Amino acid sequence: MRIAVVNLKGGVGKTTTAVHLATGLAYIGATLLVDADPQGSASRWAQLAEELPCRTVTWPNADLGKRLTELQGTSEHVVIDTPPGHVDIVSAAVSTVDTVIIPVEPLAMDLDRLNPTIELMARVAAANDPDVYVLLTRVRARTRGSKSARELLESLDLPVLQTEIPLLEAYGWGYGMVPPQGHRYGQLLDELLAGKGIEV
């Protein structure tokens, strides 16, 4: 699988999602985590964790499609963590994957700020036609937020993944560590693999 984790808005859980998915995928096949964000958060995470099971490269440029082609065949799976705001890098990432995940927090402002990302998807993704999914993340327990967000997104014909990532201290403090297997991101991976018809 080739996944780009994308949202032009910052601080929505892209890096957390990318590192968890790359780690989970690495247990089933050789996986490359591409840090395409000039902030370098995913690379720093990998450096601190020391033993992430995936290989990590730092490519914060719009030529990442070319670089991936050069490495073709060396990894079964690729996960690209993208920056907020850098339209050229995000476009390059989207045009080189089969799956785009858009993490979004189920809050009114975050949902409203989704438009530029959706517009970018409409412009860029036509050529390679990846599966595009919204992932509800940082979901607060015992609130209506995710249900309302789901209704809104589905009324806009945006597919929302069944799996939701809860707002938990453990995710915030897991930065710089090897993510544990399973839990919600494990469930998310199972959902994505099942969607692609990949049996583990």
Ligand X SMILES: Nc1ncnc2c1ncn2[C@@H]1O[C@H](COP(=O)(O)OP(=O)(O)OP(=O)(O)O)[C@@H](O)[C@H]1O
What does 130 bind: Mg ion, ligand X, none (CB cut-off 5 to 8 Å by kind)? none
Q: How far is the CB of 200 from ligand X (least distance, A)?
A: 24
Q: How far is the CB of 175 from ligand X (least distance, A)?
A: 5
- Residue closest to Mg ion, measured at CB: 15
Q: Within 13 Å and on the Cβ side, how many CA atoms surround 43? A: 13
Question: In the window 11-70, what residues touch Mg ion (CB under 5 A)?
Answer: 14-15, 41
What does 175 bind: ligand X, Mg ion, none (CB cut-off 5 to 8 Å by kind)? ligand X
Q: Report helix, strand and coil shares of the chain as percent, to nearest 5.
A: 40, 15, 45
Q: Within 13 Å and on the Cβ side, how many CA atoms surround 117? A: 28
Cβ distance to ligand X smaller for residue 10 or 29:
10
Q: Phi, psi (5° rounding) for residue 82?
A: -110, 160
In sequence order, what E strands does the chain have? Answer: 2-5, 31-35, 55-58, 77-81, 99-104, 131-136
Contact in structure between 42 and 81 (CB atoms under 8 Å): yes
Cβ distance to ligand X smaller for residue 30 or 178:
178
What does 16 bind: ligand X, Mg ion, none (CB cut-off 5 to 8 Å by kind)? ligand X
Residue numbers at the binding site for ligand X (CB under 6 A): 10-16, 37, 39, 41, 84, 137-138, 165, 167-168, 171-172, 175
Residues found near Mg ion in the complex (CB under 5 A): 14-15, 41
